[in-house]
Chains A and B, each alone.
Chain A
Amino acid sequence: MNLRRYAAAVPLAAAVVSLNACQLSAPPADPQRAAGQIAAAPSAAAPSAAPSSAPASSSAAPFDAAEVARGRDLAMIGNCISCHSAAGGRSYAGGGPIRTPAGTLYATNITPDDETGIGRWSAADFRRAMQEGIARDGRRLFPVFPYDHFARLRSDDLSALYAFFMTREPVRATAPADELAFPFGARGLLGAWNALYLDDSPWRDDPARSAQWNRGAYLAETLAHCGACHTPRNLLLAEDRRRAFAGAEVEGWEAPPLKGPAAGPRPWTGDELFDYLRRGGNDAHGSAAGPMLEVTRNLGQAPESDVRAIAVYVASLMDAADAAAAEPADADDTAQRRGATLFAGACAGCHGADAPRTLAGRPPLALTTSVNAASPRNAIQFVLHGMQRPPGERGSYMPGFDAMLTDDQVAAVLAYVRARYSPRPAWRDLPAQVARIRDGG
């Protein structure tokens, strides 16, 4: 994250400086919000600092079990635990860092702890946070928390989510202070940001579409907040709605475009998307990795009909036609031979045409999104870091090669893979891209 590239994005009245296209990073891991930040001198009307209602009593009547279960299903779709838990930390207790172009944030503790969590929050407080981005104490929340998506959630879904969170185990934990570059750290500017970008109109189904499509559209656009990663952002770090689902960079990975043609030679079907979202991979397209891996783990625990609906909706965004065949680019012979040698020794055991893994149904490289994508970013990530899963958990495992291969060697292997397995043009400037991604860029 290179802050030098960003001049101050001044309040709306001032001229907007020209910046490189900046894209918000992935959904946060665990952030713990510090108590420290006070809003800048509010020029626009500041939200009331007083809580919107009396605090919820911890001895209040227990929540209805069915509503809690429904809230749990919704929380799996919303992937809340991914941002609001730290690696190795307690569920929903916040604390992990979220890298963004504006700096690093830490998501809050949303367990029902009275002091450090949301234990005292009423349903109305919860609703105000989820739909307006205002915490119980009146502080504005950064839209890294996707309240701009949750703003259109239906009332009964919000109630179910509230019931779920208020029945989690309370954990006493406070997040580190956010580290945001000026002016992104100034919460007082968020009122203006909301005026520009917050759409809180009630959700309306499209009567021309099926009930399943509408359910999927509702979930994808609100709770699952797919656009928060898959839509590029503008200079003020709001999603660029004119380029909805055009793809974006997220925590070192590329969240591929969901609109338009597939990167690989075969288009996605609804069934393949459902399989991918539920299992974390599909044999005709590739495996979920990076931030998407946890999304699919949670969708694997959500109601099947809801995941199917999301798959139907996303499939409707994608082109159904096969990608046009492209002429393979001329490859540098020496580099290709070097890449072929490395591939034969390091990769072919699993990824060669007659390798056991390929025969057992893993996607052939030629079909995968990452090998065919315009950007080599995801392919580089796979080669450097493999596919990891938390210790003791089930899932595919690919070793990383960052310790074994130099940047030039990774570049040679990927140049070979691209030429050998994809009809698309060669990736440019691979060694420099490998070096940058290895360094966390």
Chain B
Amino acid sequence: MISLNVNGIPRRIEADAATPLLYVLRGELNLNGAKFGCGLGQCGACTVIVDGSAIFSCLAPVGSLEGRAIRTIEGLGTADLPGPVQRAFIDEQAAQCGYCIAGMVMRTQALLEQRPSPSDAEIRDHMDPGLCRCGTHMRILRAVRRAAGYLAAAAGSTGQRAAR
């Protein structure tokens, strides 16, 4: 039995400690946002956030993640109530097939939590490990910039509340 903290909720799962988190998220926990793109840490479709950093869940053995704070796109909002980053991606229509997008959103979330006002160069540098085969890169970059604005507005209007 392995205890995980996923989107703030304690979950106990039965899995071999070497199993990558991606398979547990999708197979055990029904959190299908993160996608299998390559299984090699080369495409970013599986990206989730662990302790504030974007990581490739296809390379994260669950046995190493006990006690760490795991966040997936499902934790940022829902279809009816999307979070600020999701809303920015929707407003910029950044998804074409959508396969890369959950990973892009999580990558963006991790960036903006650490750097609320990144430069264009910093955005490109940070988003670089995420691949998009449909070619919506320019929309994705605009979505990141828009998300920075939405998060800043949310932080401003709610005072002390952390921009999440």
B163 to chain A: closest CB distance in Å?
Answer: 20
- Interface 9-mer from A128-136, A279-287, A401-409: A401-409
Check A345 against B61 for contact (C-beta < 8 Å). Answer: yes
Residue B18 is within 8 A (CB to CB) of chain A in the complex: yes
| Binary interface encoding of chain A residues 339-362 relative to chain B, with 1 for a CB under 8 A from any of its CBs, else 0 | 001101111011000001100000
Of A88, A349, A403, the residue contacting B55 (CB under 8 A) is A403
- Bound Cα distance A357, B41 (Å): 12
A83 to chain B: closest CB distance in Å?
Answer: 21
- Of residues 56 through 86 on chain B, the ones whose CB sits less than 8 Å from some CB of chain A are 56, 58-64
Chain A, Cβ-Cβ closest to B110: A403
- Interface 9-mer from B3-11, B124-132, B144-152: B124-132
Residue B51 is within 8 A (CB to CB) of chain A in the complex: yes
- Bound Cα distance A391, B129 (Å): 8
- Take A357-B40, A392-B128 as given contacts and tell me if A341 and B55 are in contact as well, using a CB distance cutoff of 8 Å: no
- Take A342-B63, A345-B61, A391-B124 as given contacts and tell me if A404 and B55 are in contact as well, using a CB distance cutoff of 8 Å: yes
Of A342, A349, A391, A406, the residue contacting B40 (CB under 8 A) is A349
Of A346, A356, A392, the residue contacting B59 (CB under 8 A) is A346
- Take A350-B40, A397-B129, A403-B51 as given contacts and tell me if A345 and B60 are in contact as well, using a CB distance cutoff of 8 Å: yes
Residue B96 is within 8 A (CB to CB) of chain A in the complex: no
Chain B, Cβ-Cβ closest to A391: B128
Residue A399 is within 8 A (CB to CB) of chain B in the complex: yes
With a cutoff of 8 Å between Cβ atoms, the chain A residues found around residue B60 in the complex are: 345-346, 404
- Of residues 19 through 46 on chain B, the ones whose CB sits less than 8 Å from some CB of chain A are 19-20, 39-42
Residue B117 is within 8 A (CB to CB) of chain A in the complex: no
Check A399 against B56 for contact (C-beta < 8 Å). Answer: yes
- Take A403-B51, A403-B54 as given contacts and tell me if A345 and B124 are in contact as well, using a CB distance cutoff of 8 Å: no
- Of residues 389 through 432 on chain A, the ones whose CB sits less than 8 Å from some CB of chain B are 391-392, 397-399, 401, 403-406, 409
Check B128 against A349 for contact (C-beta < 8 Å). Answer: no
Q: Please count how many residues in chain B sit with their CB below 8 Å of the partner chain's CB atoms.
A: 26
Of A341, A350, A391, the residue contacting B17 (CB under 8 A) is A341
Residue B143 is within 8 A (CB to CB) of chain A in the complex: no
Check A345 against B128 for contact (C-beta < 8 Å). Answer: no
- Bound Cα distance A409, B50 (Å): 15
- Bound Cα distance A399, B57 (Å): 12
- Bound Cα distance A343, B40 (Å): 13
With a cutoff of 8 Å between Cβ atoms, the chain B residues found around residue A356 in the complex are: 40
Check B129 against A342 for contact (C-beta < 8 Å). Answer: no
With a cutoff of 8 Å between Cβ atoms, the chain B residues found around residue A341 in the complex are: 17-18, 61, 63
Residue B53 is within 8 A (CB to CB) of chain A in the complex: yes
Of A88, A344, A399, the residue contacting B121 (CB under 8 A) is A88
B6 to chain A: closest CB distance in Å?
Answer: 16
Chain A, Cβ-Cβ closest to B19: A345
- Bound Cα distance A405, B59 (Å): 11
Check B53 against A344 for contact (C-beta < 8 Å). Answer: no
Check A404 against B121 for contact (C-beta < 8 Å). Answer: no
- Bound Cα distance A398, B42 (Å): 7
- Bound Cα distance A219, B18 (Å): 49
Check A349 against B41 for contact (C-beta < 8 Å). Answer: yes
Check A346 against B61 for contact (C-beta < 8 Å). Answer: yes
Of B18, B42, B121, B124, the residue contacting A342 (CB under 8 A) is B18
B57 to chain A: closest CB distance in Å?
Answer: 9
B65 to chain A: closest CB distance in Å?
Answer: 8
B123 to chain A: closest CB distance in Å?
Answer: 10
With a cutoff of 8 Å between Cβ atoms, the chain A residues found around residue B39 in the complex are: 349
Chain B, Cβ-Cβ closest to A398: B41
Known: A344-B61, A349-B41. 17 other contacts (CB 8 A): A341-B17, A341-B18, A342-B61, A342-B63, A345-B17, A345-B63, A349-B39, A350-B41, A391-B125, A392-B124, A397-B129, A398-B41, A399-B59, A399-B129, A403-B55, A404-B55, A405-B64
What would be 23 A-B contacts, judged by CB atoms less than 8 Å apart?
A: A88-B121, A341-B18, A342-B61, A342-B64, A345-B17, A345-B18, A345-B19, A345-B20, A345-B63, A346-B64, A350-B40, A356-B40, A392-B124, A397-B42, A397-B129, A399-B42, A399-B59, A399-B129, A403-B54, A404-B56, A404-B60, A405-B64, A409-B64
5 closest A-B pairs by beta carbon, nearest first, are: A345-B61, A403-B53, A344-B18, A399-B41, A345-B18
